[in-house]
Chain A
């Protein structure tokens, strides 16, 4: 199966709100969150989307 879009990673500051199949990165601060998101975005060739202030996902388009 060829997926068109997929969530490659979830980055969050609130672990209680997330669960599921994608790798989850838990961060302490907003700064750490953005840093990890930026790095993952570059590594995975995906886009970092913000779902809320404390929840980012990396999506492959």
Chain B
């Protein structure tokens, strides 16, 4: 036991706790299983140990010890690869796949959460050593709150208006509003689709979001989330019953065609609204200099 034992233990506990708090299992059902959780809590423990060791190492003038952080960075990049690989493997067997963009989004957030843990543990230990345990607890709580804010992105309802539209057929063509979805030849399939299908039109609220919702990965994420939350009326070997999203080229609205097992319009609207806006789908043409020459020249 020395003067750093308690601060380090405090930092490690705070860091691990914040990782547990960030590891919520929600409708996305990932990671659902105990084993997945154990992996992430253990990695969180390792991350917080690293974060907690920095300050004592500096105080002991053991500056080279800090270089271990570079190892940490490599280690957690590995976490991102691990998540990406697992999800990619599993994705082929989903009835409605997640899509690469969604998987990348999940993998990125797993990596970044470990860095948030390092920072939390670092600040916890620093404040503990500089002041006293009580202030350290307050600092840690603030860190946890800040990390929660940092990790929650925006959702679709912030960027689009969601409207329910009846599906209809014009000849063999399936339409949502005026947006053509696909060609269904057989009358019995058409009946099934009319019976089980639902159509929604998402109208982007501004220039930036037109590009975001047009992203194929973002569209696949919508289909996946709806199918997870409300079930999906399809099976392998029924490619005609595939949820699809097509775009109106004129104004960038997108037509969502889904086949949910729970056919509740309000619920479906809520689920679509709660789909996360994927980081890699976000575009900001409004920041472009050429696009807004008048604004920038003033």
Contact = CB atoms under 8 A, between A and B. Distances in A.
Interface of A: 34, 37-38, 41-42, 45-50, 56, 61
B237 A37 contact: no
Majority secondary structure of chain B interface residues (helix, strand, loop or mixed): loop
B239 A34 contact: no
Contacts of A56: 185
Nearest to B241: A47
A41 B240 contact: yes
A27 B171 CA distance: 20
B237 A45 contact: yes
Nearest to A45: B237
B185 A61 contact: no
B73 interface: no
A42 B241 CA distance: 12
B243 to A, nearest CB: 13
Contacts of B153: none
A24 to B, nearest CB: 16
B236 to A, nearest CB: 8
B189 A45 contact: no
A61 B239 contact: yes
Contacts of B236: 45
Nearest to A42: B237
B214 to A, nearest CB: 21
Nearest to B183: A49
Interface size class of B (residues with CB under 8 A): 10 to 19
Contact of A47 (B187, B188, B239): B239
A4 B292 CA distance: 40
B237 A34 contact: no
Nearest to A56: B185
A46 B183 contact: no
Contacts of A34: 186-188
Interface string B184-205: 1111110000000000000000
B237 A49 contact: no
Contacts of A42: 237
A38 to B, nearest CB: 5
B239 A46 contact: yes
A39 B60 CA distance: 77
Contacts of A37: 185-186
Contact of A41 (B171, B183, B186, B242): B186
Contacts of A50: 171-172, 183-186
Interface in B200-248: 236-237, 239-240, 242
Contacts of A45: 236-237, 239
Contacts of B183: 47, 49-50
B100 to A, nearest CB: 17
A17 to B, nearest CB: 16
